[in-house]
Amino acid sequence: LWGRNVHDSIAKFLQFQLTVNIVAVIVAFTGACITQDSPLKAVQMLWVNLIMDTFASLALATEPPTEALLLRKPYGRNKPLISRTMMKNILGHAVYQLTLIFTLLFV
């Protein structure tokens, strides 16, 4: 029960972190190329990562296991930690966030 909960929590943590980092890097790079000045300075990027790491780790550590975890089959040893569905979620949320940020930045 706890092993499945830890696995699922780590997968959620990775999904969140990858989404935030992809968006931050693309915004910094694209903003620097287009406006010749990065919209996020180094200190601001550090604050974004600090805050996002804190929230993600709190979510990772505070979710209790449920009995529903035992109703599904265990994951195989060779199954990737980031599934196709997770990758679609990461890319979908990144596109949504980038659309909002670029709209606010350039409009």
Task: Give percent of the chain above pLDDT 70.
Answer: 100
Q: 41 or 18, which is more confident?
A: 18
pLDDT at position 71 is 87
Is-contact 105 31, C-beta < 8 A? yes
Q: What are the extents of the domains in the chain?
A: 1-63+81-106
Which residue do the tokens 């780790």 mark? 57
User: What band does 28 get if pLDDT is binned at 50, 70 and 90?
Assistant: confident
Per the rule left: phi > 0, alpha: psi between -120 and 50, beta: everything else, 32 is alpha
Distance CA 41, CA 77 (A): 41
Q: How many residues does the chain have?
A: 107
Taking only the tens place, the pLDDT of each residue in 54-102 is 887 887 777 888 888 888 888 888 888 888 999 999 999 999 999 999 9
In 3D space, the residue among 2, 6, 14 whose CA is nearest the CA of residue 83 turns out to be: 14
Is-contact 12 40, C-beta < 8 A? no
Distance CA 41, CA 63 (A): 33
pLDDT at position 75 is 84
